Amino acid sequence: MPAQTVKDIKKDIYLLLNKAGQMLELTEEAFAKNKVSSLDQADELAREIHSKEDALTEVLAKLASSDAEGRTLLPVPGYVEKIA
């Protein structure tokens, strides 16, 4: 598998942010409308976010030594994970 570029990683971070937004909307819906199914969906998204954060952080850590932009992006997946 070819190494991910910074552009690919930015796209993955964008998708991660989108999932975090969906998770928050589902959580709001679960509490506002007392829907357990929405809470279950939000929990599943949170698990996806956690696993993707680990993978992105690992790739960025390897990239950070040789790429300034990679170094700058390194903490971002962790920040998104804190939302989840």
pLDDT tens sequence across 14-73 = 999 999 999 999 999 999 999 999 999 999 999 999 999 999 999 999 999 999 999 999
Residue 1 within any structural domain of the chain: no
Residue 19: domain span = 6-83
Residue 20 lies inside a defined structural domain of this protein: yes
Do residues 16 and 49 touch, judged by C-beta distance below 8 A?
yes
**Does 64 map to a domain?**
yes
Contact 19, 81 (CB under 8 A): no
pLDDT recorded at residue 29: 97
Percent of the chain with pLDDT over 70: 98
How many independent structural domains does the chain possess?
A: 1
Q: Is residue 62 part of a domain?
A: yes
Residue 26 lies in a domain: yes
Q: What is the pTM of this model?
A: 0.87
